[in-house]
Amino acid sequence: MPKFIFFLFFISFFDTFGQQDSIQMPLDIPLSLSGNFGELRSNHFHSGLDIKTNSEEGLPVYAIDNGYVYRIKISRSGYGKALYIKHPSGLISVYGHLQKFNPTIENYIKQKQYKKKSYEIEVFPYKIELPVKKGEIIAYSGNTGGSSGPHLHFEIRNLQEHPLNPMSYGFTVPDTIRPKIRGLYAYTLDSLSHINQVQGRIPLFFHKENDSTLTTDPIIAYGKIGFGIDAYDRENNSYNHNGLYKVQVLENGTIIYEHVLEELSFFWSHYVNVFMDYPYYRQKRKKIQKLFVEPYNHLQIYTQLVHDGMIEVKHKKNYYITIIAKDFYDNSTYIKIPVYGIHAPIVEKLKINRTPYLVKAGKKTTFDFGKVKMIFRKNSAYYDFYLNYKPIRNGFVISNGKAPVHKPVIYKYDISRVPINYRKYLYLGHQAGKNLYYTYSNIKGDTLTAFSSRMGKFLVSMDTIPPQLYPVNFKPKTNLTDYHYLRLETFDLQSGIKDYNGYIDGQWILLEYDYKKHALVYDFSDKKLKGFKHILKVVVSDHVGNESTFKTYFYRKER
């Protein structure tokens, strides 16, 4: 976002919501973060703040200002139970991983769930249906969806649904700590370049000059080069490693690269895979931020670029490179890198594992390996790379040098030799360690088609075993008058749980599904039961259609 436009947004927000000290925080405990805006995550940039809840669930969550609920989404993954509030300025606040909503919103969404007969749901209420006031309790914090522990995911978005940095709107934390640099790397970016007579990714060692500045020994280089850093930031009251806000690269005192994490878009969030050194991340699980922009990188976070942040080192010319890593509060760490331009012989060239199978960036590419076909759709690849393919019994191993894939690859596997009555139980599984993970699959005739962005070992597997399903907090055929809820446990060891439905006396009931705990839960307060004896029926199915049914009766007298 241009700085002038961002300034207008900032002024508009505070014209509407008052001064910074009057902003309503979404929780009434001191703000402490386990994740910040723009932080590098697996396959995306983090779009908000992860606010700690002291490892507790059920803390009141407050509307940050007047507005109305314009969207509610409940999913077993992602944000879990999430609430979206539109404010008079047009800005949107988002609250994710909630345990439950306030009674008004809870009643509203449950009516929608019962009408649709689905726990997972997304609705867009009319403006007049669910108005909220600043400081009103709208929900309670939880651990639903894809969260790895209790916390509140909080966002600010604009009218285009682009996440904005909440810290620019007053949601700040104490932070006087400079960013920490764990690693520094140099990259050769053409076939003639070298760094210390070596090509590829070269680690650079540095020493501490003072509290804010790191320095490397001089390097010799030639041709087109760039740099990358492995770095993180911390706030005063947390040990979590959060992301940087701004990074600059200066060549002889002139800024040639700057990115600022102020606004994101879900449309290009996957480009995090080329913002960082993805092959290194896959190999070492460390995230190097590349401080140069390659042609396949379409991110809009760059505010200053000269030659895309790449440095053309010429023979007998010297360069003084400075990298500045900043957090939102302008705490800064500097790295100084002296570079001497020398056209020296390359003693270690970059090795490329060439195979007959070349995937071209920007083009549809199809490979026919006989038993299996692989289809890379147009713009699936960020850049050209070679594949390795190895057939194995009932599957195959595919690798690509750990290059990222922007769109899922289509796999088509020949199952003509499998008897027709067994084909419906087949799926393509991705093996990681000892675990086999279901890959979305469908079967038509003699072909099993699957979609996956992963590479590695794939097996065509057969799942004929129904999910397991049994009660946890109650005994069948007993009096449950004093019970507030029913809890069952269900899990599937192969293709995984897909669908689940419950019925009492033949009427559909809302079962909340927590896949992390393998739990199905029914709240008796949803509806009053008529009579004393009741029939409970719960049906669960996996991804290939195996089904389990739990049926019993119980007694309950409504009070």
HEC per residue, 306-373: CHHHCEEECCCCEEEEEEEEECCCCCEEEEEEEEEECCCCCCECCCCCCCCEEECCCCCEEEECCCEE
Nearest to 122 by CA among 112, 111, 131: 112
* Model pLDDT, residue 15: 45
From the number of C-beta atoms within 10 Å of its C-beta (0-12, 13-18, 19+), residue 505 rates as: middle
Q: What is the DSSP string of 169-228?
A: GT------PPPEEEEEEEEE-STT-EETTB-SEEEE-EEESSSSEEEEPPEEEEEEEEEE
pLDDT (tens digit per residue) in 79-100: 999 999 999 999 999 999 999 9
What whole-number distance in Å separates Cα of residue 100 and Cα of residue 143? 10
* Model pLDDT, residue 374: 95
Degrees to nearest 5, angle at CA 237 with 235 and 239? 70
Nearest to 347 by CA among 252, 438, 222: 222
**Cα distances (angstroms) measured from residue 63 to each of 10, 58, 398:** 19, 16, 49
* Model pLDDT, residue 21: 46
Nearest to 398 by CA among 375, 382, 426: 375
Degrees to nearest 5, angle at CA 26 with 266 and 29? 130
Domains of the chain by range and CATH? Answer: 3-169 (2.70.70.10), 180-341 (no CATH), 357-462 (2.60.220.30), 468-555 (2.60.40.1220)
Min mean pLDDT across 47-61, 219-233, 372-386 is at 372-386
This prediction has a pTM of 0.92
pLDDT (tens digit per residue) in 173-183: 999 999 999 99
Residues with Cβ within 8 Å of residue 113, at least 6 apart in sequence = 74, 119, 121, 510
**Cα distances (angstroms) measured from residue 111 to each of 2, 116, 190, 531:** 44, 9, 61, 23
Nearest to 249 by CA among 335, 182, 315, 327: 335
User: How crowded is residue 281: how many other Cβ atoms within 10 Å of its Cβ?
Assistant: 19
* Model pLDDT, residue 16: 44
Structure tokens at 376: 């890379």
Contact between residue 333 and residue 215 where contact means Cβ atoms under 8 Å apart: no
In whole numbers, what is the pLDDT of the chain averaged over residues?
Answer: 93
pLDDT (tens digit per residue) in 388-430: 999 999 999 998 878 889 889 999 999 999 999 999 999 999 9
240 pLDDT more than 90: yes
Residues with Cβ within 8 Å of residue 55, at least 6 apart in sequence = 149, 150
pLDDT (tens digit per residue) in 428-480: 999 988 889 999 999 999 999 999 988 899 999 999 999 999 999 999 999 99
* Model pLDDT, residue 3: 41
Average pLDDT over residues 367-387: 92
What whole-number distance in Å separates Cα of residue 407 and Cα of residue 404? 9
In percent, the amount of the chain with pLDDT more than 90 equals: 88
- Banded model confidence at residue 11, pLDDT cuts 50, 70, 90: very low
pLDDT (tens digit per residue) in 212-234: 999 999 999 999 999 999 999 99
State how far Cα 44 lies from the chain centre: 5
Long-range contacts of range 403-406, CB-CB < 8 Å, 24 or more positions apart?
A: 403/278, 403/279, 403/359, 404/273, 404/274, 404/278, 405/376, 405/380, 405/381, 405/453, 405/455, 406/270, 406/273, 406/379, 406/380, 406/381, 406/382
At position 123, the amino acid (one-letter code) is V
* Model pLDDT, residue 43: 87
* Model pLDDT, residue 291: 98
Residues comprising the chain, all counted: 559
Structure tokens at 156: 């600010």
pLDDT (tens digit per residue) in 287-299: 999 999 998 899 9
What whole-number distance in Å separates Cα of residue 429 and Cα of residue 547? 20
Q: What is the dihedral of CA 184, 188, 193, 196, to 10 degrees?
A: 30
* Model pLDDT, residue 23: 81
1 pLDDT more than 60: no
* Model pLDDT, residue 324: 98
Average pLDDT over residues 311-332: 98
- Banded model confidence at residue 370, pLDDT cuts 50, 70, 90: very high
In eight-state DSSP terms, residue 65 is S
What whole-number distance in Å separates Cα of residue 390 and Cα of residue 368? 13
What whole-number distance in Å separates Cα of residue 78 and Cα of residue 75? 7
249 pLDDT more than 80: yes
302 pLDDT more than 60: yes
Structure tokens at 395: 């599957």
Residues with Cβ within 8 Å of residue 60, at least 6 apart in sequence = 27, 28, 137, 140, 141
